[in-house]
Structure 1
Amino acid sequence: MRIHWRRVVTRRRGSLTRRAAYAAVGSLVVGLLSVLPASPAAAATGQISGLAGKCVDVAGASSANGTPVQLYDCNGTGAQQWNVGSDGTIRALGKCLDVTGNSTADGAVLQLWDCTGGANQRWVVTAARDIVSIAADKCVDVTGNNSANGTRLQIWTCTGAANQKWSAPATGGDPSPGGFVVSEAQFNQMFPNRNSFYTYSGLTAALGAYPAFAKTGSDTVRRQEAAAFLANVNHETGGLVHVVEQNTANYPHYCDWGQPYGCPAGQAAYYGRGPIQLSWNFNYKAAGDALGIDLLNNPWLVQNDSAVAWKTALWYWNTQTGPGTMTPHNAMVNQRGFGETIRSINGSLECDGRNPAQVQSRVDAYQRFISILGTTPGANLYC
């Protein structure tokens, strides 16, 4: 089979200084189950403290829907006793920490609400002390960095600042990212001839970098996203066979000397590597900044460390729009279809009739993986 090796030409879009600690292996995933139990399982209860040593507090100790969640002096009352559960919820007074209006926008405020099982009530507590909204991929934040009593809490793009750092009760669960919808047996079935470099453990170790991946929406949507990601990876690497780009003549072409940081690893150091075939110096710089790894100076990490390789693929999938109009992650969770993921990865060369055979290769893999995962493919498979 002829492999089409894609040049990743996406330049940085806005700030890509995604928190390094959030990307670290060892993030504590606090549950990602699709159906919430009546009460949180494997939970730990206590105060959640943050800026200026103050606590996450339910205003007026009211359990009414819509009650603001705020910063307040720690006092040990029930309004500050939070149940951090392995089901992904954070609860107080019998109700859930909730992002108002199901919003994913910066500045969306937090409230108390009946537990519904919605994505806006799912959270990840990381080893770096971030509390991350699964739906928005944003951090619980003290508005305006203001430590005054009564300051409202909101979600905001994760920055690593002190007003986004929290000490929460530990659940005592497994600190590795769990609950991936693809089992190791299914992974092996999908990639029977894969290179030993592409380990299942490397993939699951990388999942903590982007906890919303394959853990947003219904069970069907989560399985569809996992299948879509792996189908595109399958196409890029010939079934997870190739770790590096095979056409070595291309290697010197991936250095953009117009970037202020140049190509410190060498003119020919930024060739395609890993599951998504990351290439170009500016993409190594952007991915490295987002993941907290110096890939600009050491791009070889992507071909030597399985978890790093998988993280670069997840970085592209979750944060980059490429030649499309949305990230592949958003395409799947917003039901835009598998075809939109192709557009975001290589649409300028494959979509709109440019290379139907390549598109068909991706679709065939997607349908095969969907069958292995026991779900339906959804609409809009082609681009």
Structure 2
Amino acid sequence: MVIKRVLAGLAALIAGGTMAVTAGGPAVASQAPAVSPSASFIVSEAQFNQMFPNRNAFYTYSGLTAALDAYPGFTNTGSEEVKKQEAAAFLANVSHETGGLVYIVEQNTGNYPHYCDATQPYGCPAGTAAYYGRGPIQLSWNFNYKAAGDALGIDLLHNPNLVQNDAAVSWKTGLWYWNTQTGPGTMTPHDAMVNQRGFGETIRSINGSIECNGGNPGQVQSRVDLYQKFTSVLGVGPGGNLSC
């Protein structure tokens, strides 16, 4: 079943907070590819620090590189240009979602009780208010924690706090969404970049139901601006189809 990602009541950063990945139905429980040795990340630590000068110390470069083996095709598919564009696209969306990698958890605590879909057979074993947004793409809802955990081989349904306490796990959940979920779009963000469909398609897959087709042009432009900034840091052109 294709995930339909909506941002319930969080169309922008609220009270200095961050947005949260939410969904109207269970995510596709894609399994992570078999682990294989990852090549060095196409973004250097110095470039990462340049992109995120005010980042929270939780979001470590080493945590990100430790997570790469979960999805070896990420930033490792296609030409050097495509690899850099995918890295810039992922990090730009992540930056937008977390206020520049500042926020680890969703800031609007009033939303916390709303992310438990009790109709799921496994329920909400960590508590009905335990599945709020966490991590670089702000994973939310019990069914997303279940699907991401199943794919990664980590019991996130019972231990959702791992996403805010373990940097590698946190990054892996972001990579899970990026590489396996289509959201309200028609393709995963990874496929959008490696097939050169453009940065705009990644926005559609992450929050298109709220932001695209004129829904929130300011938020779209924020993502585009970050993408162009990060491609500049990596010394690569942004390509076409930047907006949605």
Unpaired runs of 5+ residues, structure 1, are: 30-176
Change (3 A) 1:375 1:206: same
Considering fraction of residues, name the structure with more helix.
2
Paired residue secondary structure (2:145): helix
In structure 2, which of residues 108, 112, 115 is the aligned counterpart of residue 247 of structure 1?
108
User: How do residues 18-57 of structure 1 correspond to structure 2 at under 5 angstroms?
Assistant: 18=32, 22=34, 27-29=35-37
Amino acid at match of 2:30: L
In structure 2, which of residues 147, 160, 164 is the aligned counterpart of residue 303 of structure 1?
164
Corresponding position of 1:236: 97
In structure 2, which of residues 119, 123, 127 is the aligned counterpart of residue 262 of structure 1?
123
Corresponding position of 1:282: 143
Corresponding position of 1:77: none
Within the alignment, does 1:9 sit opposite 2:23 as a pair?
A: yes
* Equivalent-residue separation in structure 2 for 1:268 and 1:323 (angstroms): 25
In structure 2, which of residues 64, 67, 78 is the aligned counterpart of residue 203 of structure 1?
64
In structure 1, which of residues 325, 334, 337 is the aligned counterpart of residue 186 of structure 2?
325
Within the alignment, does 1:378 sit opposite 2:224 as a pair?
A: no
Unpaired runs of 5+ residues, structure 2, are: 1-11
Considering fraction of residues, name the structure with more strand.
1
1:265–1:299: 8 Å Cα contact kept in structure 2?
Answer: yes
Corresponding position of 2:221: 360
Paired residue secondary structure (1:263): coil
* Equivalent-residue separation in structure 1 for 2:168 and 2:31 (angstroms): 19
* Equivalent-residue separation in structure 1 for 2:79 and 2:114 (angstroms): 42
1:10–1:320: 8 Å Cα contact kept in structure 2?
Answer: no
Per chain length, whose mean CA-contact separation is higher, i.e. which structure has more relative contact order (CA < 8 Å, sep 6+)?
A: 2
Alignment size in residue pairs: 229
2:21–2:137: 8 Å Cα contact kept in structure 1?
Answer: no
Amino acid at match of 1:338: F
How far did residue 8 of structure 1 move?
2.0
How far did residue 13 of structure 1 move?
5.4
* Equivalent-residue separation in structure 2 for 1:282 and 1:313 (angstroms): 15
Deviations 1:252-290 (A, max 9, x none): 000000100000000100000000000000000000000
User: How do residues 104-143 of structure 1 correspond to structure 2 at under 5 angstroms?
Assistant: none
2:146–2:155: 8 Å Cα contact kept in structure 1?
Answer: yes
How far did residue 178 of structure 1 move?
2.9
* Equivalent-residue separation in structure 1 for 2:181 and 2:22 (angstroms): 10
Answer with 1 or 2: which has the greater Rg.
1
* Equivalent-residue separation in structure 2 for 1:345 and 1:248 (angstroms): 22
The alignment's C-alpha RMSD in Å is 1.3
Deviations 1:59-112 (A, max 9, x none): xxxxxxxxxxxxxxxxxxxxxxxxxxxxxxxxxxxxxxxxxxxxxxxxxxxxxx
Paired residue secondary structure (1:324): coil
TM-score by length of 1: 0.58
Change (3 A) 1:344 1:304: same
